[in-house]
Homo-oligomer: A and B are copies of this chain.
Amino acid sequence: MFRTSELEKKINLEIENILSNDQPANLYDPIKYILSLGGKRVRPVMTLLGKNLFSETVDDAIDAALGIELFHNFSLLHDDLMDRSEKRRGQCTVHRKWNDNTAILSGDAMLIEAYKYIAEVPADLLPQILHLFSTVAGEVCKGQQYDMDFEQSMSVTETDYLEMIRLKTAVLMAGALKIGAIIARAPAFDSELLHTFGINIGMAFQLKDDLLDVYGDTKTFGKNIGGDILCNKKTYLLIKALKNSNEVQKKELEKWLSSTDYDPEEKIAAVKTIYDELKLKAICETFIEKYYLAALDCLSSIHVANERKKELISLAENLMYREK
């Protein structure tokens, strides 16, 4: 059994060699740059943990894990461009460091590169894994589209929101885990349970992200606190606030949502005050807990010794109780 930290090291070692001498530089440097910004490599580690859950070795799942990480970073690269984000992990985003066209084309090349790594899985498993990977990739695009559509809409329901984060965040984590299980040739029943574990962890992860955007610590979180509030992002907190608010609170919220000329700090403080009055932090934490427990429930039903599940349980715990 490997520790998560060992697997993260394995991934980082491989990432250093990706595209090391590829030309033209203007196409591949931005890819190497965004990969070098680090991060916890959660998704490729999940692929290796999915493999390791059912099998002693993980090396034969590394290419697929790298494909997952390349895809994830491709989506960050294009999302940052679409959202006009300035910073990613405290550093310049690709379109700011280079320009928009570089971000578009390097992102495209990165998606293709992801497929090249996925294609390295054992030939007999390729049809199944490729189908899963493309389905997930398409769903992530759908999720991003819904996310953008929702910014223009005032009628987003909790159901809409949950479906959006399922597509945008949860299916990739679930897919990453399941690809590992498929490479381990796990029984279909067990790899499906691992998939559902991943969906639940992904939902909890995104809800936690929304929460940290309001209640996180600027220093540890890396992004600016209140970013979602400023761009009227239809997060779980905002949707719940619009639903649970009394008339006065609702009017106040709607005023801030429609105003174009305001002091950012003032808007963040005002909206947060309403969230506090409605006890949304606790409500959101209970909701996260619900997904977390559902995830653990799936994991406990998988037919392998509990001993093998330890690392996945710690990973889930770390994602739930993280402060960044």
Contacts and interface: CB of A to CB of B under 8 A. Distances in A.
Interface of A: 23-24, 26-27, 78, 81-82, 100-101, 104-105, 107-109, 111-113, 115-116, 119, 123, 126-127, 130-131, 134, 137-138, 141-142, 144-146, 148-149
Contacts of A107: 108
Interface of A is mostly: helix
Oligomeric state, in number of copies? 2
A111 B113 contact: no
Given A78-B105, A82-B105, A104-B104, A134 B115 contact: yes
A9 to B, nearest CB: 28
Given A119-B131, A127-B126, A130-B126, A148 B101 contact: yes
A127 B123 contact: yes
Contacts of A141: 27, 105, 108-109, 112
Report the 3 A-B pairs with minimum CB-CB distance, sorted nearest first: A27-B145, A109-B141, A82-B101
A112 B137 contact: yes
Nearest to A127: B123
Contacts of A144: 105
A58 to B, nearest CB: 22
Nearest to A139: B112
B104 A116 contact: no
A144 B24 CA distance: 10
Given A24-B145, A141-B27, A148-B101, A119 B127 contact: yes
Contacts of A127: 119, 123, 126
Given A24-B149, A145-B26, A81 B109 contact: no
Nearest to A84: B101
20 contacts: A23-B142, A24-B146, A24-B149, A27-B141, A27-B142, A27-B145, A82-B105, A101-B148, A105-B145, A108-B108, A108-B111, A109-B138, A109-B145, A111-B112, A112-B137, A112-B138, A115-B115, A115-B137, A116-B134, A116-B138
A146 B27 CA distance: 9
